[in-house]
Structure 1
Amino acid sequence: MNIFEVERGDSPIVLGQPHGGTWLPDELTGRLNANGRALADTDWHIGRLYDGLLDGATVVRMNVHRYAIDANRDPDGISLYPGQNTTALCPVTDFDGEPIWEDGQTPSEDEILARRDSYHAPYHAALAEEIARVKARHGVAVLYDCHSIRSTIPFLFEGRLPVFSIGTNGGETCAARMQCATADPCLKTEGADTVINGRFKGGWTTRHYGRPETGVHAIQMELAQRAYLAAEAAPWSYCINTAQPTRATLRRVLTNLDRLARSGALN
């Protein structure tokens, strides 16, 4: 199994997909408890949801499940949301705060470092390479980080998430017009709610790469899974009819970003 996959395109848009993978080495699978083996915290079908929405977009896809290591966490283990419940670089609980490892099987500090070198670092090396490549071609690069999550998770946040949660770390990781180009189609989507820099302000990926002053813009899109799944529970089935309007909005978002990046207005 390849740790990650890259689909190269000629657009200035790079789609990061750090949490769609479900592969784990047998040794880790055997150490998970029944709760962990359910892999409930996957960004289910995120690749299918975005597939074909923007011709020429580059995709960097992580195949390793986040229970081995979370590719959207700070590699030094620093919390992105101090004072709030979250999961770690190498998670020991799921999003509901429940243990995922058998007793005595949680990763040691040495193991965490080894997983970081084996999985986290190669994925980000590939992502950085693609960002640099499209920036060299266009003078600008836009990293759009694709995420999804269950709508209701009391351990992590109160109430129900909006359909579209846009994160730019308070506007620091992209130009203001990039944020507007992302939000506008979402705000105009009938029956779907949107928040900008709410509970999810952008993970480590967005905050690490987003340097608009250098021509690299980064945006995280966290989608509520009710917007494209048949149900937010196992077997986590993709629903074409439910996903269709969501895909239409995401297509407009990516088209907006692509046109803006190609216009030269951000160089």
Structure 2
Amino acid sequence: MSADWLEVHAGDAPLIVGFPHTGTDIPAEIEAGLVSPWLARKDADWWIDRLYAFARELGATTVRTRLSRTVIDVNRDPSGASLYPGQATTELCPTTTFDGEPLYRGGAEPDAAEIAARRERWFSPYHAEIEAQIARLKTRYGAVVFYDAHSIRSRIPRLFEGELPHFNIGTNGGATCAPELAAGVAAACDRPGYRHVVDGRFKGGWATRRYGRPDEGVHAIQMELACRAYLDEPDSEVGPDNWPAPFDEARASACRAVLGEVLSACLAFAETRS
């Protein structure tokens, strides 16, 4: 299935991979109110759908929105409640970048009615599709893993101190999946040259928290990759001249090998529970 903004590949394995932030499309009427098209795309999860292209070969279902997260962030609580109270973050319809730069020209920020319209047009259908795929696979297998794929720059002082580990695994403190799944994913990430953490700064976004119902056979886990794991991340401040960095096949290949083990661990777990 596909739409002008939503891409769905229905696989046969008990694994769903979500790509909520790889899109860069912005409707013209929204882009007209933005400060800069580059700023509006700055915080995309660059190249992540390309990095995980092998997931389909494993039989995984993939769900991806082509829309920029600036239009609407489908990994935020639709009520507007913060996923990380007391910490800097961005909204359901972001008005700033991760670095705090304003996205909209003065007076062009989306109001409550506009946010509600975007939620109905894009947010709800995205999640309805994920729910439908979970139901389809759960009927067949009894147990399903939902894996939410993300990336972020390694250093963003407004959001976190220092440099992120390469692999940031989120289970909302163990609430969204069985401990065996989290342990299997962490073991797959334990490779020379890489660092990983479970439930560090990123504990899982709204999708992971919503779909993680381990007592019902739905196990959700988020992977937030530090961008340097798969591309040549600039040492200096990022700008239009150096970001996004080009896809680095050599660096991506090594990271992809680890991610292959990660998704294989997810599949092995689901099959033991089916």
Give the alignment's TM-score, normalised by structure 2: 0.94
Structure 1: tracts of 5 or more residues without a match: none
Q: Deviations over 1:23-68 (max 9, x none)?
A: 1101111111027545110000111000114521000001111001
Give the alignment's TM-score, normalised by structure 1: 0.96
Q: What residue identity is the alignment partner of 1:228? A: Y
- Distance in 2 between residues matched to 1:106 and 1:172, nearest whole Å: 35
Decide which of 154, 158, 167 is 1:155's aligned counterpart.
158
- Distance in 2 between residues matched to 1:230 and 1:84, nearest whole Å: 28
Q: What residue identity is the alignment partner of 1:172? A: A
Aligned-partner SS, 1:198: coil
Deviation at 1:235, TM superposition (A): 3.6
Alignment-derived partner of residue 78 in structure 2: 75
Whether 2:221 is the aligned partner of 1:219: answer yes
Alignment-derived partner of residue 165 in structure 1: 168
Aligned-partner SS, 1:52: helix
Aligned-partner SS, 2:58: coil
Q: Deviations over 1:84-104 (max 9, x none)?
A: 000000000000011011111
Decide which of 98, 105, 109 is 2:101's aligned counterpart.
98
Whether 2:155 is the aligned partner of 1:146: answer no
Q: Deviations over 1:236-255 (max 9, x none)?
A: 21100011111000000111
- Distance in 2 between residues matched to 1:148 and 1:207, nearest whole Å: 18
Task: Answer whether contact 1:29 1:37 (CA < 8 A) is retained.
Answer: no
- Tell me which moved more, 34-43 or 164-173: 34-43
Decide which of 86, 91, 97 is 1:88's aligned counterpart.
91
Q: Deviations over 1:170-192 (max 9, x none)?
A: 001000101011110102x1111
Alignment-derived partner of residue 10 in structure 2: 8
- Distance in 1 between residues matched to 2:226 and 2:11, nearest whole Å: 27
Task: Answer whether contact 2:46 2:244 (CA < 8 A) is retained.
Answer: no
Decide which of 265, 271, 274 is 1:256's aligned counterpart.
265
Q: What residue identity is the alignment partner of 1:123? A: Y
Task: Answer whether contact 1:173 1:218 (CA < 8 A) is retained.
Answer: yes
Q: What residue identity is the alignment partner of 2:14? A: P
Task: Answer whether contact 1:168 1:218 (CA < 8 A) is retained.
Answer: yes
Task: Answer whether contact 2:211 2:219 (CA < 8 A) is retained.
Answer: yes
Q: What residue identity is the alignment partner of 2:214? A: P
Deviation at 1:256, TM superposition (A): 1.3
Q: What residue identity is the alignment partner of 1:208? A: R
Alignment-derived partner of residue 254 in structure 2: 245
Alignment-derived partner of residue 178 in structure 1: 181
User: Runs in 1 of length 4+ with deviation above 3 angstroms?
Assistant: 35-38
Structure 2: tracts of 5 or more residues without a match: 235-241
- Distance in 1 between residues matched to 2:25 and 2:43, nearest whole Å: 13
Between the two proteins, the alignment pairs up a number of residues equal to 264
- Distance in 2 between residues matched to 1:218 and 1:153, nearest whole Å: 26
Q: Deviations over 1:123-158 (max 9, x none)?
A: 000111111111111111100000000000001111
Alignment-derived partner of residue 201 in structure 2: 199
Q: Deviations over 1:10-35 (max 9, x none)?
A: 01000000000111101111111027
